[in-house]
Structure formats: structure tokens, C-alpha cells
Amino acid sequence: MGNYSRQPHSVAYSEVLRALLNKRGLRITSQRQKILDILKDIPAGEHLSAEEIYQNLLEQGENVGISTVYRALHLMVDLGFLRELGLAEGKRYYELNQPFTEQHHHLVCIQCGSVQEFQEDLITQIGTQEAEERGFSLMNCQFSVLALCPVCQVELDN
């Protein structure tokens, strides 16, 4: 257990997304591609909200509405391409999903909202076992631990 960093993958993200969309009779639009480009380029351990993705697109000079960003994100989550995470105070964040990234979990500070990722195979094993015992097929296993980070603990003690 502990912090880890994801290894870079040589997965052709655009081709995988294109194939998933094609199965639904959809195509990869320029907006979907640009959202994918933003998400695949974020540093390991970081997650972006729809609003942050929208701001990033605006900074790149893209003429896109926030509702388009939300629709694209929800579609990619529905396709299983992205993971939607509720990490702090009802906000939703997004990251590439399995098998595109390693299975990992989140330690979230309830005070400042900082997030640290960790990997623990036992959590995934338990999730898989529980799903199989009930006749389910595990698609994703997320575990979030809500706690106070060391910095916030010191601030509360002062």
C-alpha cells in the first residue's frame, strides 16, 4: 500500500474511444477528442472537474459550451472510458478508466480537498470476490477514504 505513480501507457486512446463510440453509432467529435487530450495529459494522481476541463478548453481558444463538456464527459463515463469520482463535497472529478490506468483508490482530505492515490490489491480482490459471489461482473472498483491530511490536522490543532 502507499502512494504510487502510474506508468505511461502506449494505448492509442483516440482509437479506443473511437471504437467505443462506433459501437453506439456515434463518432469522435473534435470536442470529445480535445477533452480526451486534456484528460490523458494530466499528471498522475490529478483529477479534473467538468468546470476545470471547460476552463482548459477556453484557454486553448476552443468555442465550446459547458453543457457540451458535461454531455461528452457523461457519455465517456457511460461508455466505461472515464471514471467519475465523487471526491469532495459533492464535486465530481474525472480520470481515464480501467484498463487505461492502473486500478487505484483515493485518500481525500475533507478539509482542503487534497487527494492522494494509493494502490491496494486486497480492495480489488474483495470487490471482485463480492461481485462474483452475487453473480455480477466487476467493471470497476473504487474506494475513497475520507480523512484529514497532516497539514489540516496541524491547522486544527493550532
Residue 118, pLDDT above cutoff 60:
yes
Q: Within a domain: residue 55?
A: yes
Distant-in-sequence, close-in-space partners of 9: CB < 8 Å, separation ≥ 6:
100, 101
Distant-in-sequence, close-in-space partners of 101: CB < 8 Å, separation ≥ 6:
6, 9, 95
Q: Within a domain: residue 2?
A: no
Q: Within a domain: residue 108?
A: yes
More reliable by pLDDT, 96 or 90 = 96
Residue 101, pLDDT above cutoff 70:
no
Closest to 114 in 3D by CA, of 143, 158, 145: 145
Q: What is the pLDDT of residue 75?
A: 93
Closest to 123 in 3D by CA, of 147, 103, 139: 103
Helices then strands, each counted (H, E), the chain = 6, 6
Q: Within a domain: residue 60?
A: yes
Domain range for residue 20?
13-157
Residue 5, pLDDT above cutoff 50:
no
Residue 53, C-alpha cell as written in the block: 476541463
Residue 134 is part of a domain; what is its CATH number?
A: 1.10.10.10
Confidence class for position 8, pLDDT limits 50, 70, 90 = very low
More reliable by pLDDT, 112 or 64 = 64
